[in-house]
Copies of this chain bind each other. A is one copy, B any other.
Amino acid sequence: MNPFDADVLRDLLARADYPAIAALCAGSHPATAADVLEGFSPEQVRDILRHLEDQLRADIFTRFSLDFQVDMITLLKRREVARLMTDMPPDDRADLFKSLPEDRRQVILPAMAQAEREDIRRLTAYEEGTAGAVMTSDYASLHPDLTAYEAIERLREIAPDRETIYTAFVVDGNRRLLGHVSLKDLIVARREKLVGEMMETEVISARVCDDREDAARKIQKYDLIALPVVDGSDALVGIVTHDDALDIITQEHTEDMEKFMAIAGSHDTGAYLRTSSLEHFRNRVFWVTGLAVLGLVSGFVIQSFQGLLLQFAILAAFIPMLAGAGGNTGSQAATLVIRALSLKELSYRDVGMILWKEFRVALMLGVLLGLVAYSRVMLIGDGASIPEGFTLHQIGSAIALALALQVVTSTLAGAMLPLGASRLRLDPAVVASPVLASFVDITGVVIYFVTVKLVLGI
Q: Is A104 part of the contact surface with B, judged by Cβ < 8 Å?
A: no
Q: Is the CB of A295 within 8 A of B323?
A: yes
Minimum CB–CB distance for A80 against chain B, Å: 25
Q: Is A438 part of the contact surface with B, judged by Cβ < 8 Å?
A: yes
Interface on chain A toward B: helix, strand, loop, or mixed SS? helix
Q: Is the CB of B316 within 8 A of A285?
A: no
Q: Is A98 part of the contact surface with B, judged by Cβ < 8 Å?
A: no
Q: Is the CB of B317 within 8 A of A303?
A: yes
Known A277-B360, A318-B299; contact A324-B225, beta-carbon cutoff 8 A: no
For the complex, give the distance between the alpha carbons of A201 and B3 in Å: 12
Known A225-B225, A242-B242, A246-B246; contact A288-B339, beta-carbon cutoff 8 A: no
Q: Is the CB of A159 within 8 A of B183?
A: no
Copies of the chain in the assembly: 2
Give the residues from 192 to 224 in chain A that come closer than 8 angstroms, CB to CB, to chain B.
Answer: 201-202, 204, 216, 219-223
**A438 closest partner in B (C-beta):** B324
Q: Is the CB of A273 within 8 A of B350?
A: yes
Q: Is A372 part of the contact surface with B, judged by Cβ < 8 Å?
A: yes
Q: Is the CB of B299 within 8 A of A319?
A: yes
**A316 closest partner in B (C-beta):** B302
Most B Cβ at <10 Å: residue of A159, A242, A263, A281: A242
Q: Is the CB of A184 within 8 A of B202?
A: no
Minimum CB–CB distance for A330 against chain B, Å: 10
Minimum CB–CB distance for A348 against chain B, Å: 14
Binds B, one of A12-20, A106-114, A168-176, A251-259: A251-259
Known A298-B320, A320-B295, A365-B281; contact A288-B328, beta-carbon cutoff 8 A: yes
Minimum CB–CB distance for A140 against chain B, Å: 10
Q: Is the CB of B258 within 8 A of A336?
A: yes
**A155 closest partner in B (C-beta):** B187
Known A316-B303, A317-B303; contact A437-B324, beta-carbon cutoff 8 A: yes
* 19 other A-B residue contacts (CB within 8 Å) besides A281-B365, A295-B323: A156-B187, A159-B184, A183-B183, A242-B243, A254-B343, A257-B335, A258-B339, A262-B332, A269-B343, A273-B345, A277-B357, A277-B361, A280-B361, A284-B329, A284-B365, A291-B325, A302-B317, A324-B438, A327-B434
Can you list 28 contacts pairing A with B, beta carbon distance less than 8 Å?
Answer: A31-B222, A165-B184, A183-B187, A220-B243, A225-B225, A242-B246, A249-B249, A261-B335, A262-B332, A263-B332, A277-B357, A277-B364, A278-B364, A281-B364, A284-B361, A285-B364, A292-B372, A295-B324, A295-B325, A299-B316, A299-B317, A299-B321, A303-B317, A306-B316, A310-B313, A320-B441, A324-B434, A324-B441
